Structures are given as C-alpha cells and as structure tokens.
C-alpha cells in the first residue's frame, strides 16, 4: 500500500492480524512495517546489483520513536539507497558486522534493546552479572566463535571463583563478588538469554548454552523457627528502646507478618494503603500490580505508623530524611539484627520464606500460600510443598487414631458378644 509516510500517519495507523507494509509514495523503497503487536518499524527495500535479477533485500532502519521519526528515517533511507546505487549492499554489510560482534558488545546491545519487560531491579542484577562475570571471562570473544565448550569452561571458572573480587560500589560501599556454583548456574542462565537474543537478531544460528549441564541451583531457603521469631521480636524491641530508626524496625516487622518483598514495603506509598478494605494496593511489585490483604497484626502496625508518622507532604509512607524518595536503610539495620540473632547469613528475604512456612503449618494450602505471596506461577510456590508434610502427617495421625479407636471398639464388642 502506497501512502505518504508522515508522523500523523504513523501515529494513527492501527495493527492488523499480520505484518502490514506501507510504502512511501515519494521515496521508492522507503517503507513502514506494522506488526500485530503494534510495533512500527521503518525499513528500506532494494535489489542488489543486477536489476530485476538482483537479490531483493530488506534493511531495518529502526522502530518509530526516538531517535527515529518519519523525517529522520526518510533521510537515513536516502543514504542507504545512495549506497545501493553505488553498488553496496547495506544488509550484507550489517550481517557481516553482526558476525564480528564481541560478547561484550552483544551484552551492551542486550541491556539496551533486549531486556523487554524486565523490571529495573532485574536489569540491575543482570548488569552486575555481566560486568562481574561474563565480560571479564568472555567479553573479548566474538559471539560467533563461542561454543558449548567455552560455556562449560565459563561455568567452571565462575564456580571456582575465578571472577571473585571486592569492588567499590559507592563512595564508601563495596561489593564482595564470590562466585560459586549457584552464581555460575544463574549467570549461565543469563548468558543463555543473551544468546537467544543474539539468535533472534541473526548474529548466530545456534545457542551454545543449549545442552550445557549446569550445577543444581539450590537457593538457600532459610526458615525461622517459632523460637527464633520470638527472639527476633525481642531484638526489635531492644533496638526500639535504643532509638534505632523506627522506619527500619516497622518495615522488618511488616515483612515478618505479611511475607511481602522488601521493595514492596520499603517503597510503600500512602495512596497504596486502603484502610477501609484492609488492603495494600501495590501499583508496582516484582510481578506487577498486586493486592495484598493485611492480617490484623500488619493492619495494626500500619495504623500505628499512620498515627505517629503521617506526613501529608510525603509520597512515601517510609520517607527518606535525606532525599525526596523512600527510606532505604533497612538493610543496614538488618545487619545489626541478624548479628544479635546469631546468624549473620540470614537474609531479609528469609522472613518471606518463614511467613510461608508458618502459613502452611497453620493449615494453609499451597494455592493459598501462592495468593498470599503474590506468585504468578504455582511452580514458584512448589518449593514449599515439603512443608505440607508436617500438618498432613499430623492430620493423618489424628484421623488414624479416630478410625483405629472405632475399629478397636467394634472388635471389643464382638469379643464381648462371643
């Protein structure tokens, strides 16, 4: 379909059930592709030397939006068509360039264009693994030369601590990079995703990560006992008496009684607390928008915080004293808490696991726990299935006693009648 490709046309065109092409009526070969998902992509179509016998090629300029608007895309198309007229093949040259791209360059491209709908926190984690493991060990290699053998060696090198180091993160902060089997497995998983992106982009034909056997990724799921949870409560009361930041103490208590993630509570906004419905209506969490029902303990904690710290000028319930954002010092206080608890490896996230274990102990099913924790997929909640054994066994024992008692009663009656 021939049209005049203008900003008004591009903004207004609607996607159909298959790719649709629109060709500019003023510049032959310059076009717009609209995908069923709504992507609008500027392209150039041309034939290589040889006239009608030449190979028909299509070159992607870029997606509509910054930096590509119709005028900028048209100018780029004119340049490309000029190169074609001079006997060049831009598509072949780009393909050759792709084939020579290094792993480091691919990672930069992936972080810019391949992360899709990943949340910023996940992208930051990816960037850390890329900069600390992938680039140091594989960065200079050309992607097309990467083999399964290279991936296997990379896996072993990270597991053996070859990338271990201590690096500065902020003015006074530091990150301890240890490596290990878990890190190796997760980083190879990320590398596989990056290479899948490369395959879709036409840089490689096969993903060398496919088929590489990784270490079992046994994430540490630590569960606090009732005794430990009681001790945690005492520690928090002690720190409260010592006038440790009240926001951190309240956040840790809320994490314990809700099973929420740190970011969901630490970044909580006043507008997300629905007192009437006794809910948190989280606009953004790891799994997107989420409604979190509040039990009585959590509801009372939040109401007490509202009563003592309500600030109509603040967006966040736990506002920072130094910036306009939310409070971010919970981890600093948590390090002090876990030292007093006698377990310096205990993570804040382990409070979430503990909440799930207490829920199952109280008789909640895996499906109920899934909803409480806000998991999108029941498979994520399956890690807690072994915890069901205790209440199930107890229930089975109670039922068995009742049945056996009834059975013994019948036997006794028969003996008496005999």
Per-residue pLDDT tens digits for 78-135 = 999 999 988 888 988 877 777 789 999 999 989 988 887 787 888 899 999 999 999 9
| pLDDT of 318 | 93
Instruction: Please state the rounded mean pLDDT for residues 234-248.
Output: 92
What pLDDT digit, counting tens, does each position of 188-238 carry? 999 999 999 999 888 888 999 999 999 876 555 688 888 998 999 999 999
| pLDDT of 81 | 93
**For residues 76 and 353, which has the higher predicted lDDT (pLDDT)?**
76
| pLDDT of 277 | 92
| pLDDT of 139 | 95
Say yes or no to pLDDT of 391 above 60.
Answer: no
Q: Of 69-73, 85-89, 234-238, 375-379, which range is least confident?
A: 375-379
| pLDDT of 54 | 82
Instruction: Please state the rounded mean pLDDT for residues 157-185.
Output: 81
Say yes or no to pLDDT of 286 above 80.
Answer: no
| pLDDT of 342 | 92
What pLDDT digit, counting tens, does each position of 214-226 carry? 987 655 568 888 8
% of the chain with per-residue pLDDT over 70: 86
What pLDDT digit, counting tens, does each position of 292-307 carry? 888 899 899 999 999 9
Residue 71 neighbours by CB under 8 Å, 6+ apart: none
Give Cα separations from 360 to 156, 198, 220, 233, 365 (angstroms): 38, 43, 19, 21, 6
| pLDDT of 15 | 93
pTM metric for this prediction? 0.57
| Rounded Cα gap, residues 386 and 352, in angstroms | 16
Instruction: Please state the rounded mean pLDDT for residues 34-45.
Output: 93
% of the chain with per-residue pLDDT over 90: 49
| pLDDT of 97 | 72
Q: Is 253 exposed, middle or buried (0-12, 13-18, 19+ CB in 10 A)?
A: buried
pLDDT tier for residue 310 given thresholds of 50, 70 and 90: confident
| pLDDT of 401 | 66
| Rounded Cα gap, residues 337 and 334, in angstroms | 5
Q: Where are the beta strands (DSSP E) in 73-218?
A: 165-168, 174-177
| pLDDT of 299 | 92
Say yes or no to pLDDT of 413 above 60.
Answer: no
Residue 112 neighbours by CB under 8 Å, 6+ apart: none
Instruction: Please state the rounded mean pLDDT for residues 409-415.
Output: 56
3-state secondary structure of 306: helix
| pLDDT of 361 | 77
| pLDDT of 304 | 92
pLDDT tier for residue 332 given thresholds of 50, 70 and 90: very high
Instruction: Please state the rounded mean pLDDT for residues 316-333.
Output: 89
Say yes or no to pLDDT of 255 above 80.
Answer: yes
Say yes or no to pLDDT of 367 above 70.
Answer: yes
| pLDDT of 132 | 94
| Rounded Cα gap, residues 332 and 352, in angstroms | 18
| pLDDT of 323 | 80
**For residues 209 and 320, which has the higher predicted lDDT (pLDDT)?**
209
pLDDT tier for residue 155 given thresholds of 50, 70 and 90: very high
Say yes or no to pLDDT of 390 above 60.
Answer: no
Helix (H) or strand (E) holding 291: strand 290-293
**For residues 171 and 342, which has the higher predicted lDDT (pLDDT)?**
342
| pLDDT of 93 | 82
Q: What is the dihedral of CA 303, 309, 313, 318, to 10 degrees?
A: -80
3-state secondary structure of 350: helix
Expressed in percent and rounded to 5, the helix, strand and coil fractions of the chain are 55, 15, 35
């Amino acid at each position: 379909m021939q049209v005049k490709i203008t900003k008004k046309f591009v903004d207004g065109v609607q996607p159909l059930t298959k790719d649709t092409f629109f060709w500019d009526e003023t510049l032959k070969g310059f076009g717009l592709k609209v995908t069923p998902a709504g992507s609008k992509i500027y392209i150039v179509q041309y034939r290589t030397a040889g006239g009608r016998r030449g190979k028909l090629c299509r070159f992607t300029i870029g997606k509509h939006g910054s930096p590509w608007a119709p005028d900028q895309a048209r100018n780029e198309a004119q340049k490309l068509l000029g190169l074609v007229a001079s006997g060049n093949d831009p598509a072949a040259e780009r393909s050759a360039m792709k084939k020579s791209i290094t792993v480091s360059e691919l990672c930069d491209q992936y972080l810019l264009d391949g992360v899709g709908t990943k949340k910023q926190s996940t992208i930051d984690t990816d960037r850390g693994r890329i900069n600390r493991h992938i680039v140091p060990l594989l960065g200079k290699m050309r992607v097309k030369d990467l083999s399964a053998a290279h991936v296997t060696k990379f896996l072993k090198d990270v597991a053996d601590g070859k990338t271990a180091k201590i690096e500065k993160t902020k003015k006074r902060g530091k990150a301890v990079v240890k490596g290990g089997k878990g890190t190796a497995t997760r980083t190879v998983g990320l590398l596989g995703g990056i290479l899948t992106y490369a395959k879709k982009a036409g840089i490689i034909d096969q993903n060398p990560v496919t088929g590489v056997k990784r270490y079992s990724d046994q994430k540490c799921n630590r569960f606090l006992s009732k005794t430990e949870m009681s001790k945690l409560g005492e520690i928090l009361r002690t720190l409260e008496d010592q006038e440790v930041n009240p926001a951190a103490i309240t956040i840790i208590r809320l994490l314990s009684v809700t099973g929420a993630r740190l970011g969901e509570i630490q970044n909580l906004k006043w507008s997300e607390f629905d007192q009437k419905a006794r809910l948190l209506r989280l606009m953004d969490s790891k799994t997107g928008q989420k409604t979190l029902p509040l039990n009585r303990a959590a509801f009372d904690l939040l109401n007490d915080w509202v009563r003592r710290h309500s600030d109509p000028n603040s967006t966040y319930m736990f506002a920072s004293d130094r910036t306009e954002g939310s409070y971010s010092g919970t981890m600093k206080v948590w390090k002090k808490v876990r030292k007093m608890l006698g377990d310096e490896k205990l993570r804040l996230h382990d409070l979430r696991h503990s909440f799930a274990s207490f829920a199952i102990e109280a008789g909640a099913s895996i499906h109920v726990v899934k909803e409480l924790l806000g998991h999108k997929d029941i498979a994520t909640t399956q890690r807690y299935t072994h915890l069901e054994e205790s209440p199930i066994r107890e229930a089975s024992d109670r039922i068995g006693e009742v049945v056996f008692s009834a059975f013994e009663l019948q036997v006794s009656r028969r003996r008496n009648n005999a």
